[in-house]
């Protein structure tokens, strides 16, 4: 029967990425046959960065309020929400204006930035409105604040009722 000879298995050190290989090889100390481990320097981990100014000083996420002034930068356009037919609508803001649409894809409001025209699908409510001339319906009623009169027209555009100055 043959005697088996066993030897120690050598396991190599694997360094961290971008780090030199550290060795734990034993070296003799002084004159005696005493061996000691070499000193391994500890690995240098990146230092922790701590934010000095938090977004919490400008935004209160609990009350959902803006606490400080923000500066906007120029951008092409902004879309709020994602339109999914039958589920959700969206709002689009661009240099040409603002458009909102519902889940059916219908425009619920639009502001044309070049002409100033405004369109609303639903009701418009206000505490007060300041305007020069107000045209109601298909221009069949005209309310004119400058001349202080209201004129009601028939289907042939002939004035039938005049209230105020003649």
> Same domain, yes or no, for 82 and 118?
yes
Same domain (yes/no): 113, 137: no
The residue segments making up the domain with residue 93 are: 77-122
Residues whose CB falls within 8 Å of the CB of residue 122, separated by 6 or more in sequence, listed in order: 108
Q: Report the mean per-residue pLDDT for the chain.
A: 82
Q: Over 60: is that where the pLDDT of 99 sits?
A: yes
Task: Look at residue 105 in the predicted model and tell me its pLDDT.
Answer: 93
Q: Is residue 66 part of a domain?
A: no
Q: Is residue 147 part of a domain?
A: yes
Is 105 part of any domain? yes
118 and 82 inside one domain? yes
Are residues 87 and 118 both part of a single domain? yes
On whether residue 53 sits in a domain, the answer given is no
Instruction: Kindly state whether residue 142 falls inside one of the protein's structural domains.
Output: yes
What integer pLDDT is reported at residue 16 of this predicted model? 73
- In this structure, the answer to whether residues 85 and 111 fall within a common structural domain is yes
pLDDT of 27 higher than 60 = no
pTM: 0.46
Residues 86 and 111 in one domain: yes
| Residue 160: partners with Cβ closer than 8 Å, 6 or more residues away | 152, 153, 154
The answer on 139 and 117 residing in a single domain is no
Residue 11 lies inside a defined structural domain of this protein = no
Q: Which residues of 145-165 are buried (b: 16+ CB within 10 A; e: fewer)?
A: eeeeeebebeeeeeeeeeeee
Is residue 88 situated within a structural domain?
Answer: yes
pLDDT tens readout for residues 44-92? 888 887 766 556 677 777 788 888 887 777 788 889 999 999 999 999 9
E strand intervals along the chain: 26-28, 35-37, 59-60, 65-66, 78-80, 90-94, 97-101, 107-112, 118-120, 133-136, 141-144, 149-153, 159-164
Average the pLDDT over 122-135 and give the result: 87
Q: What is the pLDDT of residue 54?
A: 59
Confirm whether 31 is domain-assigned: no
More confident residue, 143 or 63: 143
What is the per-residue pLDDT for 12? 78
pLDDT of residue 104: 94
Report which of 79, 60, 58, 61 is spatially closest to residue 70, judged by C-alpha positions: 58
Pick the residue with more confidence: 18 or 71? 71
Q: How many domains does the chain have?
A: 2
DSSP state of 56: G
- Out of 31-35, 56-60, 127-131, pick the least confident: 31-35
Residues 137 and 118 occupy one common structural domain:
no
């Amino acid at each position: 029967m043959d005697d088996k000879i066993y030897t120690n298995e050598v396991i190599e050190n694997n360094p961290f990425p971008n780090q030199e290989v550290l060795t734990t090889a034993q070296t003799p100390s002084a004159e005696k046959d005493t061996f000691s481990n070499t000193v391994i320097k500890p690995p240098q981990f990146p230092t922790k960065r701590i934010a000095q100014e938090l977004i919490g000083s400008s935004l209160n996420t609990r009350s959902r309020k803006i606490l400080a002034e923000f500066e906007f930068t120029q951008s092409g356009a902004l879309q709020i929400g994602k339109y999914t037919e039958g589920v959700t609508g969206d709002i689009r803001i661009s240099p040409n204006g603002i458009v909102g649409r519902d889940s059916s894809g219908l425009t619920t409001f639009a502001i044309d930035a070049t002409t100033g025209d405004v369109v609303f699908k639903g009701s418009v409510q206000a505490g007060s409105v300041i305007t020069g001339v107000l045209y109601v319906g298909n221009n069949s009623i005209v309310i004119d604040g400058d001349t202080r009169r209201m004129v009601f027209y028939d289907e042939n555009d002939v004035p039938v009722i005049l209230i105020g100055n003649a």
